[in-house]
């Protein structure tokens, strides 16, 4: 994974740096909400009804990290119905 602050000279980003980049801001006094999704250049968020086909390994790494950092994860009904990895007992 590369950090593209300056696309002319991307910086390799390891797990620790990625955690720093996505850490919650210090001194939060109210709830903090994040939204993250992958879309194609034409704005599509799914291929044949599944969003997983759009994501790269780097996208999946960021999604995993955001899930680790989150206190609560909201999952859409369509995802719950079409994704085997969603624990429906919790959802």
Q: What is the pLDDT of residues 27-38, one digit of tens each?
A: 989 988 888 888
Q: Is the pLDDT of residue 91 over 50?
A: no
Q: What is residue 49's predicted lDDT score, i.e. its pLDDT?
A: 73
Residue pair 54/38 in contact by the 8 Å Cβ criterion: yes
pLDDT: is 76 or 84 the higher one?
76
Residue 51 burial (CB count, 10 A): 19
Residue pair 22/29 in contact by the 8 Å Cβ criterion: no
Name the pTM for this structure.
0.67
Average pLDDT over all residues of the chain: 78
Residue pair 54/47 in contact by the 8 Å Cβ criterion: yes
pLDDT: is 5 or 23 the higher one?
23
DSSP tag of 51: S
| Two tokens, residue 45 | 């968020």
Q: Is the pLDDT of residue 1 over 70?
A: no
Digit-coded pLDDT (tens) for 56-66: 888 888 888 98
């Amino acid at each position: 994974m590369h950090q593209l602050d300056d696309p002319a000279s991307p910086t390799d980003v390891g797990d620790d740096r990625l955690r720093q980049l996505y850490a919650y801001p210090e001194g939060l006094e109210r709830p903090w909400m994040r939204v993250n999704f992958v879309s194609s250049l034409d704005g599509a968020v799914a291929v044949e009804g599944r969003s997983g086909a759009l994501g790269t390994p780097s996208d999946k790494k960021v999604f995993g990290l955001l899930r680790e950092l989150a206190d609560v994860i909201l999952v859409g009904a369509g995802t719950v119905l079409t994704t085997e990895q969603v624990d429906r007992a919790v959802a």
